[in-house]
Chain A
Amino acid sequence: MDSSVAAEPNIRVVKNATCTFCGCVCDDMELTVDLDQKRITKAKNACVLGKAWFAEHSVDESRPVAMIEGKEVSLDEAIDEAAKILVNARFPVIYGMSNSTSEAQRETVKMADLLSANVDSTSSVCHGPTGMGLQGVGEPTTTLGEVKNRADMIVYWGCNPSDCHPRLSTHYAVNPKGMYIPNGRKDRTVINVDVRSTTTTNIADVFVQVKPGSDFELLWGLRILVRGGKLNPAFEEQTGVPIDVIENLASRLMSCNYGILFFGMGLTMTRGRHYNASALHMLATDLNEHTHFVVKPARGHGNVTGADTVMSWQTGYPFGINFNRGYPRHEPGEFTTTDIMCRGEADAACIIASDPMANFAKPAIDHMKKIPMISFDPKPTPTSQAARVAFTTACYGINTPGTVYRMDDIPIPLRPAFESPFPSDLDILKPLVKRIRELKRAQY
């Protein structure tokens, strides 16, 4: 199992390393590591995003391990302060987790349970609506290897993997040869549906341009055709797609041997949101009357799938969870973090491995500026800079071992490239949970 060999005294090569940048979680990286400089100098097999991810995550030893109000403190002092903030809060919110290991995620949910806090992942501003689609209508799905082995029909809908998940096509879905796809790309049809052409359109055999905000109608029109109905001409006007194109699309989908619909935030974060995700899941379900058809959300962060998975097994719910009654409740819109912040409800926040101050709505950011925050991040970010307590952490996958869940729920192990002087999320969370328990016991 030992994957590392010393090529030169200060150079290490790590084979079968895992890239945790995006939801593809490719585990065939070959990393060349300069141990003196604590940086990765080469990342063989990585895509352009992966190369940048590995190159950027060198270690800046001049950064303090922890700060309170911007001033350097010891790790213990920071943990103590963080515990006090959380224990004294009436409505603490714990958020993020998508760039952390499942081990740290498990500890995070434990902390939320102990604090009767709110806990939520970045899913709530990403593929949360896909989770709601799953809850509403189910989901036929697959692991990525089955796409490689069997899929002769690939649909990219409202996503742009050529830019955002470059190896989704080249490593898993479009180009590789598979067990029943002997000729790789030649044996597959690629269809791209989007509101505008993107770099993904360049690799597609068919491009269908849909009017912005009318994905739901196009999906519903396809369902009608797949279920044997006829389309009202109004669909053309509504979706901007000619009826014969919709009919042609439906017949292609029905006649493949094994089809997959990949989709992104072009569906989940535009008009319709979870209705769009549900419609897509239902279209795939309907297609199973004719052939084998599956769907797969192209998940963004490296372990956002792990966050959903861990929260589901520990609480029953994938995101947007509140423990303030002593047991978990789930309500998207009520317990999703951006909504809580916009309403000004939280009185403390613990942000783990994400940066909501950079991407939440302005009213949410305005509220977060007013409350004590704790941040865990390897790098300085708008969130860490606004936090009262900021921990500098080791980067998951590059410096820490553990497990991440790929976008298809497959758990992938991490092989750290080099040691960081900074603690991992888990290294901080464990004593933090312990300290919180002590403070809570002292309260009673």
Chain B
Amino acid sequence: MSSALRIVNGKIYDPANNIDGEVRDICIQDGKIVESVPGDTPKIDAHGMVVMPGGVDIHSHIAGPKTNLARKFQPEDHRYDPHPGTEFTRSGAGGIVPSTFATGYRFATLGYTTVMEAAVPPLSARHVLEELEDTAILDKGYYVLMGNNSFLHRMLEKGRMEEFRNAVAWWLNASKAYTIKLVCPGGDEQWKGDKNATINQIDEKIHSFDITPRQVIKALIDTANDLGLPHPAHIHCNNLGHSGNYTTTLDTMRAAEGRKAHITHIQFNSYGGEPGKNPTSKAKEISDFINENPNISADVGQVMFGKSVSMTADAPLAWMLRHVKERKWINCDTECESGCGIIPFEYQQNVYTHTLQWAIGLELFLMAKDPWRMVLSTDHPNGGSFLNYPRLIRLLMDRDFRKQEAAAVNQKALLSTSLLDLDREYSLQEIAIVTRAAPARLLGLKHKGHLGVGADADITIYDEHENREEMFKTARYVLKDGHLFIKNHEFCADPVGRIYQVAPDYDKKIEDEIRPFFDEYYSVQFDNYPVFDTHVETEIVPTYPVQ
């Protein structure tokens, strides 16, 4: 493969550089986009095609202990969706939680080249990193769970904020993670320590600690900002999935007090109604707040009808879902750090709540004034597989299709929302924003999500098609770091992606405090806990600490 390439005649959608469908050339040299290449450079003729930066997924569950348990316990789901290998690629299993290599190939087929794994306890850092190494093609990183960390709870209890910040930085380094993840802060402590109880409001006391979720949320948002992480604290709010939870979501966003925070799969936290009763849509209230508060970003967590798996560090939520239908259920407690629950699920059009969730997600997309801060996700596989993205794109781009789909859903739920009144249709440029440019910018990945000079040459070329679902289902060409690996819809190479981490500075003295905590309460040795530098090759994304 030559290191230089020119893409000609394609319509370019590069929102970060304000290029909206212009026909122009893209030049590539040594894996980067450059100003020009010599005239005899090999060409890809993209006539009649759409050229976009490679897709960037800000929130998916693709690797690590929880994903692997979900994979392991659903042979019935892999069986009907085998993923054969080719001369260039490994084989694997598909279904709602594909095997690692298949996950990479399938994302790449959609034109995605960067995907972030959304939640892993630091104790399993080596596990997720090994799986990410085996996830084909993609650049990736992962968010490390910190919202139920006993050591951090103790620091917070004592008001030792300096030590809190140093400990967070130590944990990010030790686990080679990309940012801080909060899942239902305080909730797992209740679950593990108080016979499966849960926490609902962010001002309730956390079991056996003299602090509240609000304090944990505030402290971790501040710390992510102070450490200057490329992506802020990534928050799965308390009370997820429960009727009336939109007030918790608003409270959580207010706790940021103007500082940057990312609320993930916010659809699941936009419900009105009374606890225990049918939810209603509060998409407008949530949208209004985000529209007015530029420090907040979110991804939607769209629900798509069909198979899903609820897999979450929010263990009480999975237990609640198990009571909806008594199916097989996994729970996994992680010492001092987290909980986890997994349950197979299916979203059905005729079910009131499922339709409502579907409609709320679309409302959130269509009400967002700033698509740079409301980006596309299905919280794969929680809201549905990432393979639903093309269909979701069509729902956003094609009003008639949306209405046609809406005719088949639970009408009581549908009519309680404003979905049918929303006439907006996303443009290709806006799709390029919510699927690549904005996630890359929110992640602080400066070389991703755009096609300007100096960007990584991660490029996707789609045949233009009126049916946007067909168009986005399989890219005709995909390049990773300038390396063409999908050509005319077929894999022709199997490039290896990178793993991103952050490595913020911290005062090493904090290790003297963490070490005795490990000796008492962990089951592994303090010295064996940090991932060795020899274990995995990573690329460090710089942090810009606030002085």
Contacts and interface: CB of A to CB of B under 8 A. Distances in A.
Nearest to A138: B328
Interface stretch (A70-78, A217-225, A315-323, A422-430): A315-323
Contact of B521 (A179, A294, A309, A316): A179
A149 B335 CA distance: 8
A288 B323 CA distance: 12
A8 B195 CA distance: 53
A413 B92 contact: no
Given A1-B530, A288-B196, A410 B78 contact: no
B159 interface: no
Nearest to A331: B75
Contact of A327 (B83, B97, B123, B319): B83
A361 B191 CA distance: 45
Contacts of B522: 145
A16 B528 contact: yes
Given A327-B82, A328-B82, 10 more contacts: A27-B525, A110-B90, A135-B72, A145-B521, A172-B523, A178-B521, A258-B193, A308-B72, A315-B91, A315-B93
Contacts of B71: 312-313, 316
A327 B195 contact: no
B192 A258 contact: yes
Contacts of A199: none
B130 A102 contact: yes
A292 B534 contact: no
Interface string A18-32: 100000000110000
A413 B127 contact: no
Nearest to B133: A106
B330 interface: yes
Interface stretch (A55-63, A366-374, A375-383, A401-409): A401-409
A240 interface: no
A86 to B, nearest CB: 17
Given A27-B528, A314-B100, A315-B99, A411 B68 contact: no
A258 B193 CA distance: 8
> How many residues of A sit at the interface, in one of the four size bands?
35 or more
Contacts, number: 194
B72 A149 contact: no
Interface string B81-116: 011110000111101011111000000000000000
Across the A-B interface, the 9 shortest Cβ-Cβ residue pairs = A145-B335, A316-B93, A145-B523, A138-B328, A411-B126, A327-B82, A140-B331, A142-B333, A316-B78
Interface of B: 63, 65, 68-69, 71-76, 78-79, 82-85, 90-93, 95, 97-101, 123-127, 130-131, 134, 150, 191-193, 195-196, 208, 319, 327-336, 342-343, 520-525, 527-528, 530, 532, 534-535
Interface string A120-152: 000000000001001111111111111011100
B121 to A, nearest CB: 9
B441 to A, nearest CB: 31
A312 B319 CA distance: 24
Given A291-B195, A308-B72, A403-B126, A410 B100 contact: no
Contacts of B331: 139-141, 288, 294
A144 B99 contact: no
A143 B535 CA distance: 22
Contact of B336 (A145, A308, A326, A411): A145
A151 B454 CA distance: 55
B91 A143 contact: no
A285 B329 contact: yes
Contact of B72 (A142, A288, A291, A312): A312
A420 to B, nearest CB: 18
A113 interface: yes
B131 A413 contact: no
Interface string A322-350: 01011111100000000000000000000
B521 A137 contact: no
Contacts of A413: 126, 528, 532, 535
Contact of B332 (A142, A308, A329): A142
Contacts of B125: 411
A391 B346 CA distance: 50
B122 to A, nearest CB: 11
Given A16-B525, A327-B82, A327-B83, A411 B130 contact: yes
Contacts of A318: 72
A57 to B, nearest CB: 20
B85 A313 contact: no
A389 to B, nearest CB: 26
Of listed B76, B123, B332, B535, residue having the most chain A CB within 10 A: B332
B101 to A, nearest CB: 7
Given A106-B134, A317-B75, A292 B196 contact: yes
Given A3-B527, A142-B332, A314-B99, A328 B73 contact: no
- Majority-rule SS of B interface residues: mixed
Contacts of A312: 68, 71-72, 99
A411 B529 CA distance: 9
B85 A326 contact: yes
A16 B515 CA distance: 13
A139 B330 contact: yes
30 contacts: A18-B528, A27-B525, A106-B134, A135-B76, A138-B73, A139-B331, A141-B330, A142-B333, A143-B334, A143-B335, A143-B523, A145-B523, A146-B333, A148-B521, A258-B193, A292-B196, A294-B333, A312-B72, A313-B134, A314-B90, A314-B99, A314-B101, A316-B72, A316-B93, A326-B85, A327-B93, A328-B92, A409-B127, A409-B332, A410-B523
A171 B141 CA distance: 34
Contacts of A179: 150, 336, 520-521
Interface in A394-422: 401, 403, 405, 409-413
Contacts of A292: 191-192, 195-196
Contacts of A270: none
Nearest to A309: B68
Contacts of A362: none
B525 A28 contact: yes
A318 B150 CA distance: 32
Nearest to A282: B328
A196 interface: no
A51 interface: no
B195 A326 contact: no
B207 to A, nearest CB: 10
A262 to B, nearest CB: 14
A311 to B, nearest CB: 9
A15 interface: yes
Contact of A148 (B63, B208, B523, B527): B523
Nearest to A256: B195
Contact of B527 (A1, A136, A308, A314): A1
Nearest to A402: B535
A43 to B, nearest CB: 15
A186 interface: no
B195 A257 contact: yes
Of listed B75, B319, B522, B534, residue having the most chain A CB within 10 A: B75
A9 B84 CA distance: 55
A15 B527 contact: yes
A141 B69 CA distance: 11
A27 B519 CA distance: 12
A328 B528 contact: no
